[in-house]
Structure 1
Amino acid sequence: MTMHSKLMVGNWKMNGSLAANASLLSDVLAAMADLHCRSAVCVPSVYLAQVQSLLVGSSIGLGAQDVSAHDMGAYTGEVSADMLRDFAVRYCIVGHSERRQYHAESDVLVARKAQRALAAGITPIVCVGESLSEREAGQTEAVVKRQLAAVIHANGHCISEIVVAYEPVWAIGTGLTATPEQAQHVHAVLRAQLQAASSHADRVSILYGGSMNAANAAELLAQPDVDGGLIGGAALKAPDFLSMLKTASR
């Protein structure tokens, strides 16, 4: 269990518009005064400038959804960590299951992206998780440990500066959720792996990221090793996101 408050991160994925973003954040910011958890929103890169200006003076951190494994150069369509830092980005998701699945991102590439973010002073939110077939084959622990090991291997000396998000692939956007016990079991495995790698591992927040919503957040967040949530669809609805921030502030 980490020593600091819960961290709740909204992942907007490929959603949003100038008007919708302004409306959503206006509703969220209006109700933030009494909330004590840490929070962030990870937005599509084209909206970083807009959302940076909307969040000025607020406690919500700005996050990106991906970063290049390269520093600069002839990489058309890529966005570097230094570019993200220009927009005061504090968090960056790396290795989301959708990137691993649709863009064939390897464990080594994800580790390099985490390295680039850390070098720019940005906290990488490293996603790990197993598919349904891997879970049914009893490979859950082996898969998440392999994915995290690559990041630890590449970033050993500053591994306590990352955030980890466990997102069972079978529970993303499917409406299926790991039971609180299933989530806690994997979080405990990841915690032990981090503790073996760093004496400061207790600083690392481990978020749960598989279809967490307003209805199941309290049960999941009550688990000893669940330090917050990486929230997809529910983060696009102000009442739902706020409800979860309230739950995490208790």
Structure 2
Amino acid sequence: MYEHPDLPGEKERTIVDIGRAIGFIFQDQQWLKKVLIGGLLVFIPIIGWLIIGGYFLRLIRQVAEGRDLPLPEWNDFGGDLVRGLKGFVVGVVWSLPVIVLAVCTGALGAVGDSAGSDAPRAMAAVLALAGNCLSFLLSLVVAFFQPLFYSRLAVTERISDGLAFGAIFDEARGRFVDLLVVLLVAFVISLVASFGLLLCLVGVVFTTFIGYGMTCHLYGQVRRRITGTQAEPFAPSPAF
């Protein structure tokens, strides 16, 4: 058995609980098994990735409802696949401006490479560079809104809620600081998780999975702070 504090009430904190997000995974007595399963699914192209996405949506929903432990069980692969597919659709729609701009930038690069003179080639290179910079900025904007559209989808499992742009923009105005903190912390987590490369390519799979779990906890916290849901007591997971 393990001890852990209940998730704090929303009125008790001014920002999301970063420490809780970083440490909660390791409080589950079965965390190693669950992380290993998730890491192994990474090696199954497309289907495995969608299942992982659905699993993380379940985790976001748990946290949004005030329960972060125990971690979701790997007992709903079919449901996770469907949820992951919905998450993929929502993510692609939000990323459409970035995708379109990336295609245009790639086309400019190809035109520049095929140009016969230096002037058109230089112009294409400048435009391609500007396009890449704009793509990066747009990617940051999408990442800024991710906690909102993914958590809406996680709670209701309706694609339309993940694409409710007006409602999401309204929510963002009231949670700007939280969203900015989550964006920065998620970036740091991704950098730390990449150190799994030092363990070898296999190691980065598992550290990245843990990193995504931490980030999803932050997403769930943002949703819980918006809805004002209070934490509920939960039972510890059984031992291995």
Between the two structures, name the one with larger relative contact order (CA 8 Å, sep ≥ 6). Answer: 2
- TM-score, normalization by structure 2: 0.26
Query: Which structure has the larger Rg over C-alpha atoms?
Result: 2
Q: Which has the higher helix share?
A: 2
Higher strand share: 1
